[in-house]
Structures are given as C-alpha cells and as structure tokens.
Chain A
Amino acid sequence: GQQLNQSPQSMFIQEGEDVSMNCTSSSIFNTWLWYKQDPGEGPVLLIALYKAGELTSNGRLTAQFGITRKDSFLNISASIPSDVGIYFCAGQVGEGAQKLVFGQGTRLTINP
C-alpha cells in the first residue's frame, strides 16, 4: 500500500530556531495536509495544499506541495514553546471519500 516517509522522526531545538520537516512518497497524491497533535488530543489541521508547486503560509508556518506530487515540506520560523508537539503529514487519495495516508510524525521538542 501507499506509505509516507516523514523525517526527521524527532527534533530538539532552541527557542527561536527555524524548523524544517518533510514527507516523501513513491506514490502521487492529489492533496497534502499538515497536522499538529498535542498529547492526548486529536490532530489539528495546520495547512492544506491542493496543487503541485503550491506554497502556502499560515503565520510562522510555510508548506509546499512538491512539483512531482510525491513530496511536501513544512517549515516553522522562529519557534516558540507552544510549537512543541508531533507534526504529521498526510496525503490524500480518492475523490469521494478522502482517504488519508499519514506519515509517522515528527516530534518537536524546544529548549527555552
């Protein structure tokens, strides 16, 4: 089946640093989504990408849909303590029911 390779698995950074994570796949997706999950809660949507080459920002977050439609990256600028959590990429297949394939997550830890 389809799989997403998300890296890095974990990051330990200083407050104020920029962060970059990415997802790659051997399959093509028509949508890429980035979610953040806090402990004991459901994932919260950060950015949705619908078109190859699309670059979208949400505050300090920027994400891009790769030209090949097989990859995506998420950047966080000037990290702050509330950025701590697990970040997931997800690729969507299908049109009627949007089935998502998730990456394994990137756990972000920030040292103040």
Chain B
Amino acid sequence: SQTIHQWPATLVQPVGSPLSLECTVEGTSNPNLYWYRQAAGRGLQLLFYSVGIGQISSEVPQNLSASRPQDRQFILSSKKLLLSDSGFYLCAWSTGGSRQPQHFGDGTRLSIL
C-alpha cells in the first residue's frame, strides 16, 4: 500500500532563516505531488504541484519554491522566511488520471518568530 511521509512535524524558525520541508511517497511510482498551505481555521490553498521529476508548477506568487529531485520526493523551500509564511503545510500525492483523489500527509506546523 502507498504511504506518504512529511517531516518535520513541527518547526519553529526565525524570520529571515532558510526553510526545507521534505515529503516522500512510498508504494507507487511517478505520482503527482502537491504542496498546500492551510491557515488556522481555513481551507487548504494549493501552492505547487508536480507531474514528474524536475517539473514544478506554481499556483500562487510567494516567498517559497518547490523541487522534485527524485520521483517520489518533493521539497518545499525558502531562502528567507517571512512572518506570513507561518502555517500548516501539507503534502499530497495522487496517481495520474482524472479519477484519482489526492491523499495527504500529516503536515508540518511551521511557526515563524
């Protein structure tokens, strides 16, 4: 069966510091991968998605970037964090095709001080 792992679960970073959040998927190959951000008490906003290695699409302009160095690895990064980058970051995967729902990891709680 497929599993998705995110780490770290919680992260506290100072303003201006760099960021790297990692997501890996097991049990499938060539998945579609997604990064979402969830503000407190709100729905999820799609940040990035990837349909293959090295292929990244950005949905909203922001201070973050994403990379996919391996088939089942998706990384969310920033060179300099802003206070507004605080939130709950969720990674998700799906197989290709129109009738394949997304499955989420347990998220990373990011607090910027």
Contact of B109 among A4, A33, A40, A98 (CB under 8 A): A40
State the CA gap A98–B103 with chains docked (Å).
12
Is the Cβ of B105 less than 8 Å from the Cβ of A98?
no
How many pairs of residues, A versus B, come closer than 8 Å at their CB atoms? 66
CA distance in complex: A4, B45 (Å): 12
What is the 8 Å Cβ interface bit string for chain B, positions 36-59, against chain A (1 contact, 0 not)? 000001111110011100000101
B101/A48 in contact, CB under 8 A: yes
How far is B34's CA from A95's CA once the two chains are assembled, in angstroms? 15
- Taking a contact as CB atoms closer than 8 A, the residue among A30, A50, A97, A102 that contacts B51 in the complex is A97
Closest Cβ–Cβ distance, residue B59 to chain A (whole Å): 7
**How many Å lie between the Cα of A98 and that of B107 in the bound state?**
20
Given A42-B106, A42-B107, A96-B51, A88 and B98 contact (CB-CB distance below 8 Å): no
Where chain B touches its partner, the secondary structure class is strand
Please determine whether A41 and B43 come into contact, CB atoms closer than 8 angstroms: no
A95 to B96, CA, bound (A): 8
> Which listed residue, B42, B50, B92, touches A105 by the CB 8 Å rule?
B42
Interface size on A, as a range, is: 20 to 34
**Which residues of A lie under 8 Å from residue B111 when comparing CB positions?**
none
B44 lies within 8 A of A98 (CB): no
Question: Does B104 lie within 8 Å of A43, measured CB to CB?
Answer: yes
CB-defined contacts of B106 to chain A, threshold 8 Å: 40-42
| B100 at the A interface (CB under 8 A) | yes
Among candidates A35, A40, A96, A102, residue contacting B96 with C-beta atoms closer than 8 Å = A96
Q: Answer whether A102 and B98 are a contact pair too, CB < 8 Å, given A42-B107, A44-B104, A97-B57.
A: no
- A42/B90 contact (C-beta < 8 A), A50-B99, A88-B43, A98-B100 known: yes
Which residues of B approach A to under 8 Å, CB–CB?
Answer: 6, 32, 34, 41-46, 49-51, 57, 59, 90, 92, 94, 96, 98-107, 109
Interface pairs (10), CB distance under 8 Å? A33-B102, A42-B90, A43-B44, A43-B104, A45-B101, A45-B103, A88-B44, A90-B44, A105-B41, A105-B42
